[in-house]
């Protein structure tokens, strides 16, 4: 990974609204509404915990190249 690459995660599709990630994110980056989970791109540190543990594989890794 390049040094200027920032990684975050986002809920894309297939969220079953289990609520697991909201409880387990250590950075308060995930909120929950009737559509499911949403990851705050400003707060997400890219730790990958939600991605690794989402039972529905609803979370996607995003690489942001910073100019
Ligand atoms: S862990 Fe996955 S399925 Fe569960 S609420 Fe989070 S994104 Fe949705
Ligand atoms: S990658 Fe880490 S910081 Fe970002 S939303 Fe998932 S658990 Fe929270």
Report the DSSP beta bridge partners of residue 31. Answer: 38
Pocket test for ligand 2, best of 36, 50, 64 (most atoms within 8 A of CB): 50
Considering the entire predicted model, what is its pTM? Answer: 0.91
Q: For the chain, what are the domain ranges? A: 5-65
Instruction: Report residues whose beta carbon is within 6 angstroms of any ligand 1 atom.
Output: 11, 15-21, 36-37, 54, 56, 58-59
What is the chain's alpha carbon radius of gyration, rounded to the nearest angstrom?
A: 12
Q: Please give the average per-residue pLDDT across 30-41, as a whole number.
A: 96
Does 3 score more than 80 pLDDT? Answer: no
Angle at 55 between CA 25 and CA 30, to 5 degrees: 25
First to last CA, the chain: 15
Question: What distance in Å separates the CA atoms of residue 39 and residue 25, rounded to the nearest whole number?
Answer: 10
Q: Please give the average per-residue pLDDT across 41-46, as a whole number.
A: 98
Which CATH number describes the domain made up of 5-65?
3.30.70.20
Nearest to 47 by CA among 5, 2, 7, 4: 7
């Amino acid at each position: 990974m390049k040094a200027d690459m920032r990684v975050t995660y986002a809920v894309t599709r297939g969220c079953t609204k289990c609520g697991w990630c909201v409880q387990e994110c250590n950075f308060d980056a995930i909120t929950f509404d009737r559509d499911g989970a949403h990851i705050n791109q400003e707060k997400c540190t890219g730790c990958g915990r939600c991605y690794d543990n989402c039972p529905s594989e609803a979370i996607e890794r995003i690489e942001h190249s910073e100019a």
